[in-house]
Structure 1
């Protein structure tokens, strides 16, 4: 997308001020390359459902918010869209630019988007909403930059009864991790996974109530080792990874062993392991008139 859409005086505003926002920012700056390595193929698998929900097509002006290394942005470009990617992490943006030099990427804060009103046909956000310090404010910004009738769509991990990666991790952490933690508490994740909670957030953000809908998207993570999930969380996850990294050597070894045993017991498949993953794809439309 042409760089003229960006207000140059707001190319890289600081993230929304809070201990949680600072934690997230520092985490993604430190783990951007590791995230790209271990989580890239996993989260990119949800991009087709995200683009379909947002109605991305040839010629669409699309904003990929919290774009990370640019997986959804590249999928949108491949569909013929004109794409801008935005992330608050400069290191993520460097990765995205290196992988996709033809896409316009910039740093910026989801809570104060550096774009004029009615700039985009669609805004997509692949697993970014759970990392926002104020999801409602970020959704209101999405609504602001959408053209009348434009669509937003975002993905969030489903509950553990549906998303087995979360179930395996949480079982082990609850059994062996210390109750003490320095990980700051973020916004209530239930408001994103609960249908009524999502509807309230989207309505308050200014989206049309009758347009709000959600679907469940399921993919399978084909793992070669039962340790793949533990290593991905430890190396490439900001919040859950921080819980692991603050454990002592003994507790961490217990968590790793418990996760391995769980995966071997429930998800062995041929010579590898098949871990079911699930996420909600939520979408809504901006009003037809400003």
Structure 2
């Protein structure tokens, strides 16, 4: 069963695979090797990359010699992963219902996926179902409160008096959880994973000011919907604020270095 939050996510991401690949995919690639380490991905490991996006995780797992499978709710993302790792079985599927048998995978990887599901606990329970006993789940989400680099465009939108569109619901409070190491580890434990652990991963994402702005301008993510909520006039006002606020992150070369913090959690089925 999907929720209004899930339906909004499908609307947000529909047709945006290429825009994501050009903008935020590189940001989300930062913790991938640590994610694979946490899941014990090695030659011969049967891996599912759920919410595969542009295929970054699948490519990295394949490079380690793993037997890679992938799934994403957005057809454009699924196609991008097919191109990235030819021969990989990629399915169009959305959590919390995946088309795989019980105990099918040695490792399940979910890189910044749990942020985008309406029932996180149900999603994790489904991931435990398809992981074999003794197999590993490893996932990342964004920490809350967010790091300063992650909130830059949101601050610009706020300065322009842009607000969340009425059609874009927040996660139901009954389904939410603390976006902290303790909160995410507890959620994994509640889903039945053993030895659940979680730690923070912090880094400075180096990017151009235009590249960083472009993702949200093209409607990627909830912030992209906020940024586009009042048409061209609101966009111009937010861009003016963004140009001023981004100065605090600008290096002498003109690039931005944006602090980000993610949570990396893992557990055993």
Per the normalisation by structure 1, the TM-score is 0.85
2:213 corresponds to 1:230: yes
Q: Work out which of the residue numbers 237, 244, 262 in structure 2 matches 1:254.
A: 237
Supply the RMSD in Å over aligned alpha carbons: 2.0
Aligned-pair CA distance for 1:122: 0.8
Please identify, of 265-274 and 105-114, the stretch whose mean Cα deviation from structure 2 is larger.
265-274
**Equivalent pair of 2:164/2:229 in contact (CA under 8 Å):** no
Distance 2:104 2:237 in 1: 50
Unaligned runs of 5+ residues in structure 2 are none
**Equivalent pair of 1:32/1:92 in contact (CA under 8 Å):** yes
Deviations 1:214-259 (A, max 9, x none): 12222332223x2332222222523111111112333322222222
Deviations 1:94-143 (A, max 9, x none): 12112221221111122011111111111100111100111111100111
1:139 alignment counterpart: 124
Q: Work out which of the residue numbers 136, 161, 173 in structure 1 matches 2:157.
A: 173
Q: 1:109 to 1:116 in 2, by over 3 A?
A: same
Distance 2:172 2:57 in 1: 24
Secondary structure of 2:198 counterpart: strand
Deviations 1:33-82 (A, max 9, x none): 11111112221222111111111111111111111121101111111111
Unaligned runs of 5+ residues in structure 1 are 1-15
1:10 alignment counterpart: none
Secondary structure of 1:191 counterpart: coil
Aligned-pair CA distance for 1:285: 1.0
1:186 alignment counterpart: 171
1:276 alignment counterpart: 259
Distance 1:248 1:276 in 2: 29
1:52 alignment counterpart: 37
**Equivalent pair of 2:93/2:99 in contact (CA under 8 Å):** yes
Aligned positions, number: 267
For 1:44-123, what aligned pairs fall within 5 Å after superposition?
A: 44-123=29-108
Aligned-pair CA distance for 1:160: 4.7
Give the helix-richer structure, 1 or 2. 1
